[in-house]
């Protein structure tokens, strides 16, 4: 089983205690709609990979010894934007230190640096991105082997607030120029640069279209071959399938560009008021009216014999 915690919200930042409790108790529940809930029951051998998606892992650091018991990988988003775009995040220097600490604890092969989304308009020029990216790449040299980039997807609910901040859609020429600059900076600092849910327009610069949650990353954490499916998260997504244990509308990072933020976005730095640390659900509790399906998890370890 592969768990994602989470593409929908920053669990390490706002719900770390809940996450550790779920791991200790060996169960977690996910709500699909007003009535349907799935309860996943697992033990440590059942979990092949725990993918932690975060912009701020600082709350995890006091319990790294507990986390080392699990096959973790980190999708760590670290950009050059300020409070105008990412109002709920702590100081960037502290997050850089956290990146280094996680890399020392788990190894650079378990770390994926995400520099996304790429926004253009206003102060965010191609030259601005290349300069800031190069600085971050130099600071993170040796802490990860892969960096993932992506261009903004213009979801209707984010268009208005981004246009108000001067952000606009990118042109094909800008994408190519930006890709060339970022690729050169990545190579100079020992990073393999990949593109998430993008076409092949950047491959000329050595930027491979790849899944963020790749087979290589997941099997490396598991230490064995796995029988993996495709996530089908969205068109062009190349990630392997996982179970996301998060919930929309619960992230206090309040990033202006985030597709998970609607009109009911939480105040920056705040967790959901509906969260209860001892509930199997991230928000609320299962109701007697819910149709709860229990799923006993199992490892995805390949049963096919290898000759090598």
- The CA distance from 48 to 79, in Å, is 29
Main-chain dihedrals φ then ψ at residue 79, nearest 5 degrees: -115, -175
Nearest partner of 7 among 273, 193, 292, 241, judged by Cα: 241
pTM for the model stands at 0.94
Q: Is the pLDDT of residue 88 over 50?
A: yes
Residue 199 has pLDDT above 70, yes or no: no
C-alpha count within 13 angstroms, C-beta hemisphere, residue 165: 20
Average pLDDT of span 84-103 = 97
pLDDT exceeds cutoff 80 at 74: yes
| Average pLDDT of every residue of the chain | 93
- Give the C-alpha separation, 56 to 252, whole Å: 11
- 150: Cβ–Cβ under 8 A, 6 or more apart, which residues? 116, 117, 118, 195, 196, 197, 198
Dihedral of the alpha carbons of 127, 256, 284, 40, in degrees to the nearest 10: -30
With cut-offs at 50, 70 and 90, classify the pLDDT of residue 267: confident
Q: Calculate what percentage of the chain has a pLDDT beyond 70.
A: 95
Q: Note the pLDDT tens digit of each residue in 3-34.
A: 999 999 999 999 999 999 999 999 999 999 99
**pLDDT computed for residue 260 by the predictor:** 80
In tens, the pLDDT along 203-217 reads 889 998 888 899 999
């Amino acid at each position: 089983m592969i768990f994602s915690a989470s593409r929908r919200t920053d669990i390490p930042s706002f719900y770390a205690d809940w996450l550790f409790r779920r791991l200790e108790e060996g169960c977690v529940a996910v709500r699909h709609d007003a009535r349907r809930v799935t309860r996943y029951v697992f033990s440590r051998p059942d979990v092949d990979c725990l993918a932690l998606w975060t912009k701020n892992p600082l709350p995890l650091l006091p319990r790294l010894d507990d986390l080392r018991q699990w096959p973790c990988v980190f999708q760590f988003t670290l950009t050059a934007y300020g409070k105008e775009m990412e109002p709920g995040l702590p100081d960037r220097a502290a997050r850089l230190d956290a990146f280094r600490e996680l890399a020392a604890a788990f190894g650079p092969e378990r770390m994926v640096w995400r520099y996304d989304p790429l926004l253009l308009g206003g102060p965010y020029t191609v030259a601005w991105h290349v300069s800031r990216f190069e600085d971050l790449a130099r600071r993170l040299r040796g802490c990860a082997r892969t960096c993932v980039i992506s261009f903004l997807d213009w979801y209707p609910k984010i268009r208005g607030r981004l246009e108000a901040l001067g952000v606009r859609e990118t042109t094909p020429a800008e994408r190519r120029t930006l890709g060339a600059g970022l690729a050169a900076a990545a190579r100079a600092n020992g990073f393999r640069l990949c593109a998430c849910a993008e076409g092949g327009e950047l491959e000329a610069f050595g930027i491979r279209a790849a899944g963020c949650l790749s087979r290589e990353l997941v099997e490396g954490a598991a230490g064995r071959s796995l029988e993996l499916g495709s996530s089908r998260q969205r068109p062009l997504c190349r990630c392997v399938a996982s179970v996301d244990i998060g919930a929309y509308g619960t992230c206090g990072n309040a990033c202006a560009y985030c597709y998970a933020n609607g009109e009911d976005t939480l105040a920056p730095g705040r967790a959901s008021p509906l969260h209860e640390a001892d509930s199997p659900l991230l928000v609320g509790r299962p109701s007697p009216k819910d149709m709860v399906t229990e799923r006993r998890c199992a490892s995805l370890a390949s049963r096919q014999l290898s000759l090598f």
